[in-house]
């Protein structure tokens, strides 16, 4: 077993992503805030989590809801103050919960003072902190690169006649990571937060940070390319996925390793191939501690498909490296909708998988109660991407609707009478308070699963091994004495196991002794120890 004691807290732990705008509002403006998160720490401690990934709370004009940063070392007044953040970090620490912040290094807001200066003219001190280029002779953009959010990735700056690059919105100019000044500025930013007791970062689009130095045209997409690239017609190899991004991540790892308790670097490694994901782990010790596995996120909730991704991931990971498993985040439809179609039995199976694989699970707020996507009409839209592509793509607001804490006006998210920034949906259908009172709720199941994982060496850090099982089922061993078996099909199926059921999606099965074989009802999962 390669897990050192120092890593046990997060290898064996469960992380929880908070989208702060939608978690808990304490000052009655319909927007979640830092004091709201601090107020819910006892709930999170009872859930049993070890860490929080906080989506951005830094200063932002909210063109992309926090992912357009105007000051990397300041808290957005809408969320509170730096003192509120310090309070959250220390109060969480008292409960054994560490905080990861969200680092957005690919681009800033166009209102960041660096860009305001850069835009002031070709000789500005920060001009080459961003990616500028002359138009083609006919005045068109410098090359054929496209924005992930639609249209050309270049925006003309009328004053200077040059274009600047934006892989996302035009209000999110890309930083020029070839610049030593940019690198130095970010060294100071990561230290600023780590010195304050923040335990690491989730790193936004870390595969895109650096661009081809010659700004070469992207080649046409071909049939084997990912669907989004086929739709755009181009394979994004020159404005994305450049090998030099690894140097930057390794530089931060070196800084992290200089701390007594090294902070974690977890990347938003949104790549299509597991082999590409593995590159972000470096040699297993010198780059990211973990990268989100989008191949798994994008798989269907289907035994064979998921087992294959897990087996391939396990086989490809460098020695000593640790997987990260997720089913939902603020950019993709929630797992209860996307994977489970609202079926609670399927939600429980999905949670059982996430919480029993070898690796650190990241739950997204609401996953623990089986929360589905919220109802969003065109008039509710806040996400620029949804506004642009409605009705073909409704954007990311459905997975960002507020957390339903109770079946009350405002859902316990905000005060009665206050309109939340995004619609609540119907808190009667699914909320924390009702589930806390129900031993058979999804929340009760999630709590048992997390507690079971914390108390079992096998589940916390034991190796993963697939076991033979019928089509539509998935069985795996964790460590020496623990077996997980799931029936992910519509008919009853037998699985082989011997021992005692210590956890099940069907609570009444817990405590049952199993001798050799067990017939599982459709969409049922068990953990058995011998």
Query: Is 62 marked active-site?
Result: no
**Binder of ligand GLC out of 168, 421, 474, 523 (CB under 6 A):** 168
Q: How far apart are CA 329 and CA 517, in angstroms?
A: 37
**Binder of ligand GLC out of 204, 225, 287, 373 (CB under 6 A):** 204
Q: How far apart are CA 444 and CA 336, in angstroms?
A: 16
Q: Which residue from 503, 479, 474, 475 is spatially nearest to 489, judged by alpha carbons?
A: 474
State the binding string over 104-123 for ligand GLC (x if CB under 6 A, else -): x-------------------
Smallest distance from Ca ion to CB 26, Å: 6
155 binds ligand GLC, rule: CB under 6 A: no
Nearer CB in complex with ligand GLC: 146/460: 146
Q: How far apart are CA 156 and CA 51, in angstroms?
A: 42
Q: How far apart are CA 502 and CA 254, in angstroms?
A: 41
**Binder of ligand GLC out of 331, 343, 380, 436 (CB under 6 A):** 331
Q: How far apart are CA 289 and CA 281, in angstroms?
A: 7
Contacts of ligand GLC in 58-97 (CB under 6 A): 64, 67
Nearer CB in complex with ligand GLC: 249/518: 249
Nearer CB in complex with ligand GLC: 204/368: 204
Rg of the chain in Å (alpha carbons)? 23
CA atoms within 13 A of residue 438's CA, in its CB half-sphere:
13
Q: Which two tokens stand for residue 167?
A: 């892989």
Query: Is 515 marked active-site?
Result: no
**Binds 29: which of Ca ion, ligand GLC, none (CB < 5-8 Å by kind):** Ca ion
Q: How far apart are CA 55 and CA 69, in angstroms?
A: 12
Contacts of Ca ion in 17-76 (CB under 5 A): 25, 27, 29, 31, 33
Smallest distance from ligand GLC to CB 227, Å: 17
506 binds Ca ion, rule: CB under 5 A: no
Q: Which residue from 395, 374, 392, 373 is spatially nearest to 383, judged by alpha carbons?
A: 395
Q: Please give the angle made by the CA atoms of 50, 55 and 57, to the nearest 5 degrees.
A: 115
Q: How far apart are CA 81 and CA 344, in angstroms?
A: 39
Q: Which two tokens stand for residue 298?
A: 């994008």
Q: Which residue from 365, 508, 519, 507 is spatially nearest to 449, judged by alpha carbons?
A: 507
| Backbone torsion region of residue 339, taken as left when φ is above 0, otherwise alpha when ψ lies between -120 and 50, otherwise beta | alpha
Nearer CB in complex with ligand GLC: 205/526: 205
Q: How far is CA 513 from CA 503, 518, 527, in A?
A: 12, 10, 12
Smallest distance from ligand GLC to CB 450, Å: 25
Nearer CB in complex with ligand GLC: 202/307: 202
State the catalytic residue, choosing from 7, 25, 84, 204. 204
**Binds 67: which of ligand GLC, Ca ion, none (CB < 5-8 Å by kind):** ligand GLC
280 binds ligand GLC, rule: CB under 6 A: no
Q: How far apart are CA 358 and CA 105, in angstroms?
A: 29
Smallest distance from ligand GLC to CB 318, Å: 25
**Binds 331: which of Ca ion, ligand GLC, none (CB < 5-8 Å by kind):** ligand GLC
397 binds ligand GLC, rule: CB under 6 A: no
Nearer CB in complex with ligand GLC: 202/478: 202
Smallest distance from ligand GLC to CB 88, Å: 21
Smallest distance from ligand GLC to CB 262, Å: 24
For 389, other C-beta atoms within 10 Å of its C-beta total: 14
Nearer CB in complex with Ca ion: 253/330: 330
Q: Which residue from 422, 407, 335 is spatially nearest to 373, judged by alpha carbons?
A: 335
Smallest distance from ligand GLC to CB 56, Å: 9
Q: Could you list the active site residues? A: 204, 260
**Residues in contact with Ca ion by the rule CB under 5 A:** 25, 27, 29, 31, 33
**Residues in contact with ligand GLC by the rule CB under 6 A:** 64, 67, 104, 168, 204-205, 268, 330-331
């Amino acid at each position: 077993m390669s897990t050192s004691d120092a890593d046990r807290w997060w290898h064996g732990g469960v992380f929880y992503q908070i989208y702060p705008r939608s978690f808990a509002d304490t000052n009655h403006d319909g927007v979640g805030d830092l004091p709201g998160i601090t107020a819910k720490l006892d709930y999170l401690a009872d859930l049993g989590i070890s860490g929080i990934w906080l989506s951005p709370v830094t200063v932002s004009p909210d063109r992309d809801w926090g992912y357009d940063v105007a000051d990397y070392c300041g808290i957005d007044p809408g969320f509170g103050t730096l003192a509120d953040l310090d309070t959250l970090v220390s109060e969480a620490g008292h409960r054994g919960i560490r905080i990861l912040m969200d680092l957005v290094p690919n681009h800033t807001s166009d209102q960041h003072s660096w860009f305001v200066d850069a835009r002031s003219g070709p000789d500005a001190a920060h001009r080459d902190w961003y990616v500028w280029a002359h138009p083609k002779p006919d005045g068109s953009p410098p090359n054929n690169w496209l924005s992930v959010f639609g249209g050309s990735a270049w925006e003309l700056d009328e004053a200077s006649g040059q274009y600047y690059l934006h892989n996302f919105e035009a209000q999110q100019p890309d930083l020029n990571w070839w610049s030593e000044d940019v690198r130095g500025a970010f060294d100071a930013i990561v230290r600023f937060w780590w010195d304050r007791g923040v335990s690491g970062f989730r790193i936004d689009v870390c595969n895109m940070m650096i661009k081809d130095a010659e700004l070469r045209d992207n080649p046409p997409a071909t049939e084997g390319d990912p669907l989004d690239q086929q739709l755009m017609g181009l394979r994004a190899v020159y404005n994305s996925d450049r090998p030099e991004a690894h140097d930057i991540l390794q530089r931060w790892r070196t800084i992290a390793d200089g701390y007594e308790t090294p902070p974690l670097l977890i990347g938003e490694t949104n790549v299509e191939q597991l082999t590409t994901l593995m590159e972000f782990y470096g040699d297993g010790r010198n780059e990211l501690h973990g990268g989100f596995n989008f191949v798994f996120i994008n798989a269907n909730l289907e035994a064979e498909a998921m087992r294959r991704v897990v087996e391939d991931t396990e086989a490809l990971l460098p020695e000593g490296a640790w997987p990260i498993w997720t089913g939902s985040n603020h950019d993709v439809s929630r797992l209860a909708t996307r994977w489970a179609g609202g079926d609670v039995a399927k939600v429980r199976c999905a949670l059982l998988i996430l919480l029993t694989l070898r690796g650190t699970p990241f739950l997204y707020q609401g996953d623990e109660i089986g929360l589905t996507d919220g109802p969003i009409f065109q008039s509710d839209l806040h996400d620029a991407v949804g506004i642009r592509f409605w009705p073909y793509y409704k954007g990311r607001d459905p997975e960002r609707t507020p957390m339903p804490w109770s079946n009350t006006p405002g859902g316990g998210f905000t005060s009665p009478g206050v309109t939340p920034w995004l619609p609540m949906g119907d808190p009667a259908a699914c909320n924390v308070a009702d589930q806390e009172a129900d031993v058979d709720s999804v929340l009760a199941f999630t709590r048992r699963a997390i507690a079971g994982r914390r108390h079992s060496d096998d589940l916390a850090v034991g190796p993963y091994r697939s076991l033979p099982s019928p089509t539509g089922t998935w069985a795996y061993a964790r460590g020496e004495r623990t077996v997980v078996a799931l029936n992910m099909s519509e008919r009853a199926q037998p699985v082989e196991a011997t021992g005692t059921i210590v956890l099940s999606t069907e609570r009444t099965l817990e405590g049952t002794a199993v001798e050799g074989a067990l017939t599982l009802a459709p969409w049922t999962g068990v953990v058995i120890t011998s």
